[in-house]
Amino acid sequence: MKRIETLAVHAGGEPDEHTGAVSPPIHMATTFRHGPAGERQAGYEYQRESNPTQDRLETALAAMEGGEAGLCFGSGMAAMAAVLESLPAGAHVLIPDDCYTGLRVLGAEFLPQRGITASAVDMADLAAVRAALRPETRMIWAETPSNPRLCVADIAALADLAHGNDALLACDNTFATPVLQQPLTLGADVVMHSTTKYFGGHSDVMGGALVFARRDAFHDAVFHRRHLTGGILAPFSAWLILRGCRSLPARMAWHCRNAKALAEFLSTHPAVEAVHYPGLAAHPGHAIAARQMSDFGGMLSFRAKGGREAALRIAGALRLAINATSLGGPETLVEHRASIEGENTVSPANLLRVSVGLEHPDDLLADFGRALEAVGE
């Protein structure tokens, strides 16, 4: 079994058989020649169903997550919707009470139109999860660490609860990436990624992915849905994300190092009320994170003393870190989640989320230190 660093560099990356090119070709073709009665010549027919560049990425993602099959989509939301909307009408899904806002909206607005209900629960509280299960619960959806409060859920325990209820466990692994956490090896059935984030790694490509523990009927149903509803990933985007895989382990090590330094700095600062980072011993999910993750990731959030106004002043005073949504790129990004999530936000008003980038940690600490001092003046 190859290690993740080696898989990240080589999986799906065999040199092109015609030219020997070490960087894979980008196949832009929308259609592929077939025989008179539609006989496929090399396995492909039409880009919306599958294409060779995307196949390489799916191979790489499945290898890195330890699954049997990967499916790529045009965005993380397209991947998330495809898996949830493939559940049968009448199904119930448990989603985390702290999660990417898009999942909450999907559960409130879109899934009910398909006869699927979603209810939110604190995924860190196993007794609450057990109590929230219904006979018709067909999926538990975990997101760990979660967006934006960095809550940690015990993946192996959730897998047991799901399977005991004849349900699947899906896990949004966007924050951790398979470099730090591999939910399928802990018992999850499906892993979801916004590959827009760390996989792409440069804030310049949109994508989503699912990796399935088994290439089974559920996988086939999601594949069929993607084919017919058209959420496919464009070849150039697949190529960029595949390129991102190659450096993902190296980048994650740097993100983790910087996030730890910033979390420790913020946690002792008098203008900061609380820091949410699973790498801090005081984080309620620290022990579980230490067990199921190899490091604690590049995402953190913190709450400013002085409420919403203080948080906004800190965000506005940063000079190196950029005020922008999204995460996983080389540049440090800061956002006031409640403002971005809008009217129905459940994010605390004084919370700032930080995607800690790849700058030198001393420069980052200086920027945050100066911005926090400015608020105190």
> In this complex, which beta carbon is closest to ligand PLP, that of residue 295 or of residue 341?
341
User: Which among 197, 260, 313, 353 is annotated as catalytic?
Assistant: 197
The footprint of ligand PLP on residues 149-168 (CB under 6 A) is none
What backbone phi and psi angles, to 5 degrees, belong to 247?
-105, 5
User: Which among 48, 215, 257, 308 is annotated as catalytic?
Assistant: 48
Question: Residue 168's beta-bridge partner residues?
Answer: 139
Nearest residue to ligand PLP, scored by beta-carbon proximity? 76
Q: Which stretch binds ligand PLP (CB under 6 A): 70-78, 128-136, 214-222, 314-322?
A: 70-78
Query: Cβ contacts of residue 107 below 8 Å, gap of 6+?
Result: 93, 95, 118, 119, 120
Asked if residue 53 binds ligand PLP (CB under 6 A), the reply is: no
Asked if residue 76 binds ligand PLP (CB under 6 A), the reply is: yes
User: Integer distance in angstroms from the first to the last C-alpha of the chain?
Assistant: 56
Is residue 155 within 8 A of residue 183, CB to CB? The reply is yes
- Give the gyration radius of the chain's Cα atoms: 21
> In this complex, which beta carbon is closest to ligand PLP, that of residue 143 or of residue 295?
143
Asked if residue 181 binds ligand PLP (CB under 6 A), the reply is: no
Asked if residue 177 binds ligand PLP (CB under 6 A), the reply is: no
Is residue 305 flagged as an active site residue? no
The footprint of ligand PLP on residues 93-132 (CB under 6 A) is 100, 102
Q: Tell me the one-letter amino acid at 276.
A: H
Give the torsion sign (CA, 240, 322, 145, 92).
negative
User: What tokens appear for 297 in the block?
Assistant: 């990731």
User: What tokens appear for 35 in the block?
Assistant: 């025989």
Rounded Cα distance, 198 and 281, in Å: 25
Rounded Cα distance, 128 and 345, in Å: 22
User: Which among 154, 172, 189, 295 is annotated as catalytic?
Assistant: 172
298, exposed or middle or buried, with CB in 10 Å at 0-12, 13-18, 19+? buried
Among 50, 144, 147, 203, binds ligand PLP (CB under 6 A): 147
> In this complex, which beta carbon is closest to ligand PLP, that of residue 76 or of residue 279?
76
Instruction: Using DSSP, state whether 73 is helix, strand or coil.
Output: strand
Among 86, 174, 177, 301, binds ligand PLP (CB under 6 A): 174
Asked if residue 346 binds ligand PLP (CB under 6 A), the reply is: no
Q: Which stretch binds ligand PLP (CB under 6 A): 118-126, 153-161, 171-179, 307-315?
A: 171-179
User: What tokens appear for 101 in the block?
Assistant: 């806002």
> In this complex, which beta carbon is closest to ligand PLP, that of residue 102 or of residue 187?
102
Question: How many amino acids of this chain bind ligand PLP (CB under 6 A)?
Answer: 15
> In this complex, which beta carbon is closest to ligand PLP, that of residue 171 or of residue 310?
171
Rounded Cα distance, 41 and 146, in Å: 44
Asked if residue 137 binds ligand PLP (CB under 6 A), the reply is: no
The least distance separating ligand PLP from the CB of residue 83, rounded to whole angstroms, comes to 12
Q: Tell me the one-letter amino acid at 208.
A: G
Between the alpha carbon of residue 215 and those of residues 29, 62, 178, 256, the distances in Å are 26, 11, 19, 33
Residue among 58, 361, 16 nearest 232 (CA): 58
The least distance separating ligand PLP from the CB of residue 327, rounded to whole angstroms, comes to 6
Among 24, 208, 235, 285, binds ligand PLP (CB under 6 A): 208
Asked if residue 172 binds ligand PLP (CB under 6 A), the reply is: yes
Among 137, 194, 237, 292, binds ligand PLP (CB under 6 A): 194
The least distance separating ligand PLP from the CB of residue 180, rounded to whole angstroms, comes to 14
Asked if residue 77 binds ligand PLP (CB under 6 A), the reply is: yes
Asked if residue 75 binds ligand PLP (CB under 6 A), the reply is: yes
Is residue 2 flagged as an active site residue? no
Is residue 140 within 8 A of residue 129, CB to CB? The reply is yes
Rounded Cα distance, 79 and 154, in Å: 23
Residues that bind ligand PLP (CB under 6 A): 75-77, 100, 102, 143, 147, 172, 174-175, 194, 196, 206, 208, 326
Q: Point out the residues that are catalytic.
A: 48, 100, 172, 197
